[in-house]
Amino acid sequence: MSSQNFNFFSLTIQKIDRTESGARIVRLAVRDRFSKKRYTLQRWALVLFSNGLTLYLKTKPDMPADAPNNYARYMLRLTPAMRAWAQHMPGGFATYYVHNPDRRRIDNNKRLDLITKALFQHSYDGRGIRARAHTMTWFLSKNLVDQGRIRWVSVASGTGQPTFDASTAFVSPIDHLLIDSDQDALDFSQKLAEEYDKNEDTLRFENLNVIKDAQKMDEVIAEFNPNCLDAMGLFEYLTEDEIVALLRRLYAVLPVGGVMVFTNMRDTHPNLDVHKCAVAWPGVQERKWKFIEALILEAGVSSEELTILLPDDDVYGIYGLVKSQ
Ligand SMILES: C[S@@+](CC[C@H](N)C(=O)[O-])C[C@H]1O[C@@H](n2cnc3c(N)ncnc32)[C@H](O)[C@@H]1O
């Protein structure tokens, strides 16, 4: 087993295999600062709480998430900060707070109380969102070596936080193009970039719907000429046809040697009922890695170019491509 430590997380390869099609499949243990021993009690308390919610939801299998008598949804909105946070779903601000639960306040000045903080730190959703970002960082750091200047497009960038975090793992200079359909998130990422000492000249922002304005997206990305592309937390909101079409387009603009990473929630998420009916995160289509693998191959990517990355929390599948032809 090989381990690697980064500034804010560690990652250990547990097993490397090949799928039937020949793609590489890598199982990983991902740990960050909230996995440390001193959090054991909090993490267990959260597991017990989530198990309680799961048991309750199992007694009401047909209840819609927005039913007035959904007590699981109610329980998760007891604190003002959780209620304020829930308003951001499914936008980029929701993941922003989960990426860094050490923030003291939520945007409308509600204090991030201990319960809300513990939910962000230890729930499977929180762990999975950070693990997918850390896995992206690791994959890119392995495959973007010797590229000179990195030209990095982030599709559905949200606030840009996971991209900016990942960018700290590189010494090469980076130009960023951040694309999102939410202008507020893009405006915020412009401010956030200052925290990461990004030079204004190295940043570009585009307000685009990458499905509806696909042609415009192609032009903007082609002009930027990227060698690195991420699309995190987007595919679960798209249909299969949209995923294949988007992958085809993104793959087409990538040069040989270019690298791309994207994600989709898995059906193995240990608290899927809680995610859907208590957190009530809207519109997510979880998918098996085998299913996503088939979509990627359908989009014209060869199996030798594909690596399927599966963190041990089982929440997200992360899919990395290195273009070779
Ligand atoms: C869950 S957030 C993920 C943000 C960030 N990539 C991350 O990993 O934290 C999803 C983002 O996708 C954006 N989005 C959703 N559909 C989109 C579309 N069709 N075109 C562009 N952006 C889209 C939303 O505005 C939101 O900021």
The CATH number that applies at residue 316 is: 3.40.50.150
Is position 188 within any domain? yes
In percent, the amount of the chain with pLDDT more than 70 equals 99
Is position 298 within any domain? yes
pLDDT score at 146: 65
Name which residue sits closest to atom 19 of ligand 1, judged by CA: 209
Is position 13 within any domain? no
Whether residue 242 has its Cβ less than 6 Å from ligand 1? no
Whether residue 125 has its Cβ less than 6 Å from ligand 1? no
**Domain span at 167:** 147-269+281-322
| Ligand 1 centre distance from Cα of residue 221 (Å) | 17
| Sheet strand arrangement including 228-231 | 3-5, 9-18, 24-32, 306-311, 316-322, 259-265, 228-231, 150-155, 174-180, 203-207
User: Which mutation among 234, 247, 260, 275 tests ligand 1's pocket best, with the greatest number of atoms within 8 A of CB?
Assistant: 234
| 3-state class (DSSP) for residue 322 | strand
pLDDT score at 140: 95
Q: Is the pLDDT of residue 8 over 90?
A: no
Whether residue 270 has its Cβ less than 6 Å from ligand 1? no
Q: Is the pLDDT of residue 108 over 80?
A: no
Whether residue 237 has its Cβ less than 6 Å from ligand 1? yes
Listed in sequence order, the DSSP H helices in 11-102 are 40-58, 71-75, 80-86, 92-99
Is position 22 within any domain? no
H/E stretch holding 63 reads none
Where in the chain does DSSP place strands (E)?
3-5, 9-18, 24-32, 150-155, 174-180, 203-207, 228-231, 259-265, 306-311, 316-322
pTM above 0.85, yes or no: yes
Q: Is the pLDDT of residue 113 over 90?
A: no
Whether residue 90 has its Cβ less than 6 Å from ligand 1? yes
| Ligand 1 centre distance from Cα of residue 165 (Å) | 17
The total number of structural domains that make up the chain:
1
Give 309's pLDDT tier (boundaries 50, 70, 90).
Answer: very high
Whether residue 245 has its Cβ less than 6 Å from ligand 1? no
* Average pLDDT score over residue span 83-111: 84
Per-residue pLDDT tens over the stretch 185-226: 999 999 999 999 999 999 999 999 999 999 999 999 999 999
Whether residue 217 has its Cβ less than 6 Å from ligand 1? no
Is position 175 within any domain? yes
* Chain Cα centroid distance, residue 151: 20
CA distances from 190 to 54, 115, 259 (A): 39, 30, 24
Is position 208 within any domain? yes
Sequence-ordered list of residues with C-beta below 8 angstroms from that of 307, at least 6 positions apart, any chain: 23, 24, 25, 26, 139, 319, 320, 321, 322
Whether residue 210 has its Cβ less than 6 Å from ligand 1? yes
C-alpha–C-alpha distance, residues 293 and 203, integer Å: 32
Is position 124 within any domain? no
Is position 136 within any domain? no
Is the separation of the CB atoms in 196 and 227 below 8 Å? Answer: no
Give 1's pLDDT tier (boundaries 50, 70, 90).
Answer: low
Tokens representing 181 are: 């359909």
